[in-house]
């Protein structure tokens, strides 16, 4: 939606300006050839190419941002899984676990923020491949049920097991608490 708004603002709100630029002779001939084939002025070809290039940059930038976010989430889950396995190994060594617990006590910046911030819901899915839970680092087996968290930002993805989902209290549980 933002891409369309950017394109519309470029088209509707533009005040025509003249840009002068130097281009190699080969590029000039190619622009003239395209303009002749399209039966439009060279300036229209240049304008169309520039607008298309800007639109393409917007799309590529959004896609790259989404892919970087996925890589960051994968790294976070792998780091958590590594720490869990390290803690298991250290717990087998007498006295070594204490140093690890002290180092682990300080929360990481991403642990302080709510991983479900911006989430609008979850939907159950059946996994095709083994996957790592994006929150706990637990391995989720192929064929098992997992949950895809849906966010306001369509580029943001999170797959979790049932145990990682926030637990909502039911009306009966609320009455029992009273």
Torsion, CA 25, CA 29, CA 31, CA 35, rounded to 10: 150
> Would you say 150 and 121 are in contact if contact means Cβ atoms under 8 Å apart?
yes
Burial group, residue 161, by CB count within 10 angstroms (0-12, 13-18, 19+): buried
Distance CA 67, CA 73 (A): 10
Token pair listed for 25: 């002779």
User: In the chain, where are the structural domains located?
Assistant: 114-166
Please give the average per-residue pLDDT across 5-17, as a whole number: 65
Task: Please answer whether residues 135 and 160 qualify as being in contact, where contact means their C-beta atoms are separated by less than 8 angstroms.
Answer: yes
Give the model's pLDDT for residue 38.
92
Provide the 8-state DSSP code for 52: H
104 Cβ contact partners less than 8 Å away, ≥ 6 residues apart: 83, 87
Beta strand spans in 127-164 (E): 131-132, 139-140, 145-151, 158-160
Mean pLDDT computed over every residue of the chain: 78
Residue-wise pLDDT for 13-38, tens only, equals 567 888 888 989 999 999 999 999 99
Note whether 77 and 132 are within 8 A (CB): yes
- HSE toward the beta carbon, residue 80, CA cutoff 13 A: 18
Tell which wins on pLDDT, 108 or 4: 4
Read off the tokens for 71: 């890589």
Evaluate if residue 170 carries a pLDDT over 50: no
> Lowest-pLDDT range, 65-69, 136-140, 154-158, 168-172?
168-172
Residue 58 has pLDDT above 90, yes or no: no
């Amino acid at each position: 939606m933002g891409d369309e708004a950017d394109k519309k603002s470029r088209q509707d709100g533009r005040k025509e300006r003249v840009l002068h630029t130097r281009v190699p002779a080969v590029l000039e001939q190619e622009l003239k050839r395209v303009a002749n084939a399209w039966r439009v002025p060279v300036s229209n070809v240049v304008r169309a190419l520039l607008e298309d290039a800007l639109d393409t940059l917007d799309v590529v930038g959004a896609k790259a941002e989404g892919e970087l976010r996925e890589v960051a989430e994968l790294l976070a889950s792998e780091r958590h899984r590594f720490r869990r396995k390290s803690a298991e190994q250290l717990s087998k060594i007498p006295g070594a676990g204490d140093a690890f617990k002290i180092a682990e006590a300080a929360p990481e910046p991403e642990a302080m923020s709510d991983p479900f911030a911006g989430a609008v819901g979850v939907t159950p899915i059946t996994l095709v491949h083994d996957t790592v839970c994006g929150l706990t680092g637990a391995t989720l087996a192929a064929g098992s049920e997992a949950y895809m968290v849906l966010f306001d930002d369509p580029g943001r993805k999170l797959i979790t097991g049932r145990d990682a989902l926030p637990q909502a209290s039911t009306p009966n549980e609320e009455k029992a608490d009273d």
